[in-house]
Amino acid sequence: MRLFLLCAVISIILLSTLAGCSQDKPVDTSVRVYTRSDACGAAETWAKYLGNSKQEDLKGIAVFGDPGLAEAVARDRSGIGFNNIGFAYDVKTGGQLAGLCVIPIDLNENGKIDADENFYNNKSALVKAIAEGRYPSPPARDLHLVTKSEFKGLSREFVRWILSDGQKFVDEMGYVSLPDDKVKQELSKLGPADPTLKMQGVITVSGAWALYPMVVRWAEEYQKAYPGVKVDISAGGAGKGMVDALNNMVDLGMISREIYAEEAGKGACWVSVVKDAVVPVTSSDNPLLQDILASGLTRQSFIDIWVTGKTSDWKAAIQRP
Amino acid sequence: MIDRYRWRGLKDLLAGRVMLGATIFASSLVVFIAIGLLIKSWPILVLKPLPELIFSTTWSPMRGEFGFWAFIVGTFAVTAVALVIAVPLCILTAIYLAEYAPGPVRNAAKPVIDLLAGIPSVVYGLCGVLAVVPAVRELAALFGVATSGYTVLTGGIVLAVMVFPIIIAISDEVIRNVPNGMREVPIALGATRWQATKLIVTRSALPGIMAAIILGFSRAFGETMAVLMVVGNVAMIPASLFDPAYPLAALIANNYGEMMSIPMYDSAILFAALILLVLVVLFNLGASYILIKVENRYAA
């Protein structure tokens, strides 16, 4: 009896391995779609690019956090995902992260990536394209600081400094500066400086992870320039930043997505301080990688992959109808 | 003398009252939590009929569609898979440790298993992403299923490992507490050790073992971080072990921070918390009922 069972098990294992070997498998070109599980600015921005959708409309396996999504796509040859540029490029070298490859977007939809559409090799090239508006927005996005009703006191001066002197620290942190006319427009929302204001006290900030490292850097520099000022920053998501700001729990909330109408209705007042972007990525082991890099994907292909689910094959995604 | 007598009496009274206070505080917490969740989820309960909220599978909060059925099913699916894996393994381990293992083996194995309980949940999640996800992907490929590896099965495996220490430690304790006579009598009558264990010892330990499983189950229900990192988080009803699922606890953790500024979304997430609480309470009540039945049967 026991011997029989043992034989049965062994033969099943042998058969299954044989079956695995004997099948002359064609290259698997199916697309496996990934998205973010946690509500976040990156997914919200990517969804907005895909025909004004919402994060909840994005299909696919949902993975927690930017690093999780990068890891999942890097490990799956047929995977497609999207990441903040901070998680698609290496912070130190500026090159693409090992295992990941940014998918070029075929902006003029002519079926190939032209020279002026090819700016994904390193971070500085992409940042330049975003700044010059050659990379579409969305998925490029403005990051905001929000407060209740109006900017006032110390936090207003901090925001004013961010929009002027602070902009020179943007590049080194891997974010994208706002264009000059946008900066002027945002500055005009602040109103004139109060000459009687003493540069002494505490500014509290909370909110989006996407903006956190940038604001930390700004705070360091600002505290150097004005030793009497202390900036307290905590991260906890854009929603937390918004709720804290609207309830006057903090002076400034960091927001990495658009401000919803409900929030504006409750008195949210915001300025854009910097830009970053979300980029589509695939695994560097993707069997069709060269074709993908040569022809890129159109916005419609992305919509068919993530929103309508019409496309589930890389070949179909590359080919234009 | 009288003073000292009074002082003793006062201390006695005080000790009793303080302990009573602590007990009332501890046992009323769950009530306060339930009331708090109910108040916070009231807006959505007013807006939508309860059956629609619970049994609808459409989750599209930005369009005002709140159906929790997929999340409820997801919670049960992941927990059930975990229990199917964990229960046999844990009970066999506990029986071995309590009945068979020589002293040194037991002394070496126990602390190592207990150590599992101290590992933070996020570490389990990371191990799941790095090891279990690819393994499940390969396993599914053997069955001819193409999957990402972020599945109910993956969540179940990770969760099973997390409940090991609870179920093993308690079952082991319970089995060891079975009086020695229960072992000696059958063995004296010529039964083998396995017969004695199987027919007598585990039977008399059964209520305790069930209590251990129930404790493990309650832990598994609400486990969040490790599960959400590997389970795929797709709001659908999983049709197979290789489909992704989305448990309630993961829904709350994924959305609470970002969505609390949207009133109805906020309310929906807190309603999810309320459902989870009610499920755990119902489960515990049902389990205690079964436990009492079992105990009575063995007492009779």
For B248-275, what is the mean pLDDT? Answer: 82
For A97-102, what is the mean pLDDT? Answer: 86
Closest in B229, B234, B260 to A240, CB measured: B260
Residue B171, pLDDT score: 92
Closest in B60, B148, B261 to A239, CB measured: B261
Residue A114 has pLDDT above 70, yes or no: yes
Shortest Cα distance, chain A CAs vs residue B249, angstroms:
12
Banded model confidence at residue B216, pLDDT cuts 50, 70, 90: confident
Q: Which residue of B has its CA nearest to A18?
A: B142
Q: Which residues lie closer than 8 Å to A2 by C-beta, 6 or more apart? A: none
- Of chain B, the end-to-end C-alpha distance in Å amounts to 53
**Tokens representing residue A218 in the block:** 């700004």
CB contact under 8 A, B257 and A37: no
Residue B286, pLDDT score: 84
Residue type, B210: M
Write down the architecture of domain A32-139+278-318 according to CATH: 3-Layer(aba) Sandwich (3.40)
For A290-317, what is the mean pLDDT? Answer: 85
Residue A12 has pLDDT above 80, yes or no: no
CA distances in angstroms from A91 to A131, A171, A175, B31, listed in the order given? 18, 12, 11, 49
**Under DSSP, is residue A52 helix (H, G, I), strand (E, B) or coil?**
coil
Closest in B234, B261, B262 to A62, CB measured: B234
Residue B19, pLDDT score: 93
- Integer Cα distance of B38 and B47 in angstroms: 14
Please state, rounded to an integer, the average pLDDT across all residues of chain B: 87
Residue A20 has pLDDT above 70, yes or no: no
Residue B221, pLDDT score: 82
Residue B218, pLDDT score: 82
For A232-257, what is the mean pLDDT? Answer: 86
Share of chain A above pLDDT 70, in %: 91
Dihedral angle of Cα A117, A118, A124, A129, to the nearest 10 degrees: 0
**Under DSSP, is residue A105 helix (H, G, I), strand (E, B) or coil?**
strand
Mutate one of A32, A53, A63 to test the B interface: name it (highest B CB count within 10 A): A63
CB contact under 8 A, A61 and B150: yes
Task: Provide the 10 A C-beta neighbour count for residue B222.
Answer: 18
Contact between residue B161 and residue B199 where contact means Cβ atoms under 8 Å apart: no
DSSP state of A176: B
Residues of chain B with Cβ-Cβ distance to A64 below 8 Å are: 228-229, 233, 254
pLDDT single digits (tens) B141-184: 888 888 888 899 999 999 999 999 989 999 998 898 888 888 88
Residue A24 has pLDDT above 60, yes or no: no
The H or E element that residue A143 is part of is: strand A140-148
Numbered residues of chain B with Cβ closer than 8 Å to any chain A Cβ? 59-62, 129, 133-134, 137, 142, 146, 148-150, 228-229, 232-234, 244, 246, 250, 253-263
Spacing of C-alpha A291 from chain mean position: 25
Task: Provide the 10 A C-beta neighbour count for residue B261.
Answer: 26
Spacing of C-alpha B122 from chain mean position: 17
**Where are the alpha helices (H) located in chain B, listed in sequence order?**
2-47, 50-55, 69-95, 103-118, 121-127, 133-142, 152-176, 181-188, 193-195, 202-222, 225-230, 248-259, 263-299
CA distances in angstroms from B250 to A202, B92, B155, B273, B276, listed in the order given? 36, 31, 11, 10, 11
Residue B205 has pLDDT above 60, yes or no: yes
Residue B78, pLDDT score: 92
Residue A126, pLDDT score: 85
Share of chain B above pLDDT 90, in %: 24
Closest in A37, A76, A242 to B254, CB measured: A37
**Where are the alpha helices (H) located in chain A, listed in sequence order?**
2-22, 41-49, 65-74, 123-131, 153-163, 180-188, 212-225, 238-246, 261-265, 289-295, 299-303, 314-318
Closest in A40, A56, A75 to B61, CB measured: A56
Residue B159, pLDDT score: 92
Question: Torsions phi, psi of B166, nearest 5?
Answer: -65, -55
**Tokens representing residue A225 in the block:** 């320039």
DSSP state of A287: T
Banded model confidence at residue B90, pLDDT cuts 50, 70, 90: very high
Residue B224 has pLDDT above 90, yes or no: no
**Selected residue with higher pLDDT from A134 and A18:** A134
Residue A7 has pLDDT above 60, yes or no: no
For A160-179, what is the mean pLDDT? Answer: 84
Angle A46-A36-A177 from CA coordinates, rounded to 5°: 45
Q: Pick left, alpha or beta for residue B281 (phi over 0 → left; psi -120 to 50 → alpha; otherwise beta).
A: alpha
Contact between residue B142 and residue B192 where contact means Cβ atoms under 8 Å apart: no
Residues of chain B with Cβ-Cβ distance to A79 below 8 Å are: 148
Contact between residue A171 and residue A207 where contact means Cβ atoms under 8 Å apart: no
Task: Spell B232-258 as b/e; 16+ CB within 10 A means b.
Answer: bbbbbebeebbbbbbbbbbbbbbbbbb
Return the HEC string of A57-101: HCCCEEECHHHHHHHHHHCCCCEEEEEEHHHCECCCCCEECCCEE
Q: Which residues lie closer than 8 Å to B276 by C-beta, 6 or more apart? A: B75, B221, B222, B248, B249, B252
For B188-213, what is the mean pLDDT? Answer: 88
Banded model confidence at residue A277, pLDDT cuts 50, 70, 90: confident
Residues of chain B with Cβ-Cβ distance to A32 below 8 Å are: 146, 148
**Selected residue with higher pLDDT from A86 and B289:** B289
Shortest Cα distance, chain A CAs vs residue B63, angstroms:
10
Residue A22, pLDDT score: 42
- Of chain A, the end-to-end C-alpha distance in Å amounts to 61
CB contact under 8 A, A63 and B229: yes
Please state, rounded to an integer, the average pLDDT across all residues of chain A: 82
Shortest Cα distance, chain B CAs vs residue A218, angstroms:
24
Shortest Cα distance, chain B CAs vs residue A77, angstroms:
10
Residue B82 has pLDDT above 50, yes or no: yes
Contact between residue A116 and residue A296 where contact means Cβ atoms under 8 Å apart: no
Spacing of C-alpha B157 from chain mean position: 14
CB contact under 8 A, B233 and A236: no
Residue A18, pLDDT score: 44
CATH class of the A142-277 domain in this structure: alpha beta
Banded model confidence at residue A269, pLDDT cuts 50, 70, 90: confident
Contact between residue A255 and residue A142 where contact means Cβ atoms under 8 Å apart: no
Angle A151-A153-A158 from CA coordinates, rounded to 5°: 75
Residue A321, pLDDT score: 52
Residues of chain A with Cβ-Cβ distance to B59 below 8 Å are: 56
Residues of chain B with Cβ-Cβ distance to A15 below 8 Å are: none
Residue A4, pLDDT score: 54
Contact between residue A206 and residue A213 where contact means Cβ atoms under 8 Å apart: no
List the beta bridge partners of residue A30: A313
Residue A17 has pLDDT above 70, yes or no: no
For A134-147, what is the mean pLDDT? Answer: 87
Residue A9, pLDDT score: 58
Nearest to A74 by CA among B235, B135, B148: B148
Residue B210, pLDDT score: 87
Residues of chain A with Cβ-Cβ distance to B263 below 8 Å are: 262
Task: Provide the 10 A C-beta neighbour count for residue B127.
Answer: 17
Q: Pick left, alpha or beta for residue A110 (phi over 0 → left; psi -120 to 50 → alpha; otherwise beta).
A: alpha
Residues of chain A with Cβ-Cβ distance to B229 below 8 Å are: 63-64, 68
Q: Write down the residue that tokens 């009803």 correspond to.
A: B237
Residues in chain A: 321
Stretch(es) of chain A classified as CATH 3.40.190.10:
32-139+278-318
Residue B35 has pLDDT above 80, yes or no: yes
Residue type, A53: S
**Under DSSP, is residue A201 helix (H, G, I), strand (E, B) or coil?**
strand
pTM of the entire structure? 0.78
Residues of chain B with Cβ-Cβ distance to A28 below 8 Å are: 146
For A84-111, what is the mean pLDDT? Answer: 83
Contact between residue B284 and residue B218 where contact means Cβ atoms under 8 Å apart: yes
- Integer Cα distance of A8 and A68 in angstroms: 41
Residues of chain B with Cβ-Cβ distance to A16 below 8 Å are: 142
Dihedral angle of Cα A308, A313, A316, A318, to the nearest 10 degrees: 100
